[in-house]
Amino acid sequence: MIVVADTGPLNYLILIGQVDLLSVLYSEVTIPPAVVEELSDMRSPPAVRAWLARPPEWLHIRAPQSMPSDLPVVLGSGEREAIALSAEVRADALLIDERDGRAEAKLRKVPIIGTLGTLSQAAREDLVDLAAALAQLKRTNFRASDRLYEEILLGHRGWGKKS
C-alpha cells in the first residue's frame, strides 16, 4: 500500500512513539517538501525535529510535478502538496487529519486515513496496544472528542490480543 503523508499524522505518531507503524502497515510512505518544512519548523516539537533530522530509510521525499490551481488557499502548503502528490502518484491513501484537507481530498476522490485510522489498523493487525496509544495521543494537542476515542475502543473489542 502506497501512502502520502501530511504533517499531522507524522507529528502525532512521532510524539506517541508509534511512527514506525507506518513502515509495517504501508509498503511506501512519501511526503512532499512542504511537509518536511512544517515538521522541521522551530515551532514543531523537539522530538519531531530530531526524528526528521535522521529520517528512516522507509520515508521518501518527493515533490509533486504540478500543483492544481484550484486547491483552496485556506489549506496549508503541506496539505496542498500532499493532496496534489497523492492524486499524482495515485496513492492508496493520503494520511491527513486536518478537516479542510480531508474534505478537499474527498472531493478529489483521494482515499484518506488519519492518525486514528492508522492506529486502528495497527490494532487490528495486533501491532499496538490501542488503549495505550490513544491514551498517549490524548496527552498531546491532538483534537478528537472523548466520544470518538470511546467509539474507536469499542469498535476494537475482540480484535487481537492487544486491543
Give me the residue spans of the domains in the chain: 2-116
Banded model confidence at residue 118, pLDDT cuts 50, 70, 90? very high
Contact 62, 72 (CB under 8 A): no
Task: Supply the pLDDT for residue 156.
Answer: 79
Residue 54 pLDDT > 70, yes or no? yes
Residue 155 pLDDT > 90, yes or no? no
Q: Return the residue matching grid coordinates 486491543.
A: 163
Residue 50 pLDDT > 50, yes or no? yes
By residue count, the chain amounts to 163
Cα separation, 34 vs 116, whole angstroms: 23
Handedness of CA 74, 139, 36, 124 (dihedral sign): negative
Banded model confidence at residue 163, pLDDT cuts 50, 70, 90? very low
Q: At what angle do helices 99-107 and 77-89 cross, to 10 degrees?
A: 30
In whole angstroms, how far apart are CA 147 and each of 129, 143, 144, 151, 154?
19, 12, 8, 6, 10
Assign domain 2-116 one CATH number from 1.10.3720.10, 3.30.70.100, 3.40.50.1010, 3.40.1390.10. Answer: 3.40.50.1010
